[in-house]
Amino acid sequence: MLYNEKGCGGCHGARLEGMNNYPFLANRQKGFLMYKLKRFRSRKSDNQQQELMIPFAMHLSDEDIDNLTTYMYEYVDKKNTKSYDDSFNQEGDGGS
């Protein structure tokens, strides 16, 4: 699995839960994750902490990024068996 091969779990956790100041990746929006990895691959970051991602992303192909982001977006913790539901279903008229 590419996530383990690239050493992502060292900072982002084996269950994509995020560790220390590193963000969680489980069930994040695929488009957002792709955007960030492609920026890192292009050697662009928003802050000094994100610069740490550049060497990890520099050699990722578009296929690698697609596979990684699909894995992160669809990740389900085997212990929990639940994932974040990002669908929005409006019910009622919004009143209380």
pLDDT at position 6, please? 81
Q: Sketch out the chain's domains with CATH numbers.
A: 2-74 (1.10.760.10)
| pLDDT exceeds cutoff 70 at 9 | yes
Residue 28: which of 78, 80, 68 has the closest Cα?
Answer: 68
pLDDT at position 5, please? 85
**Do 7 and 60 meet the contact criterion of CB atoms below 8 Å apart?**
no
| pLDDT tens, residue by residue, 53-92 | 999 999 999 999 999 999 999 998 876 555 555 566 656 6
pLDDT at position 2, please? 83
How many Å apart are CA 80 and CA 90, to the nearest integer?
Answer: 26
Which phi and psi (to 5°) does residue 12 adopt? -95, -5
| pLDDT tens, residue by residue, 11-41 | 999 999 999 899 999 999 999 999 999 999 9
Name the more confident of 92 and 9. Answer: 9
pTM of the model: 0.75
pLDDT at position 87, please? 64
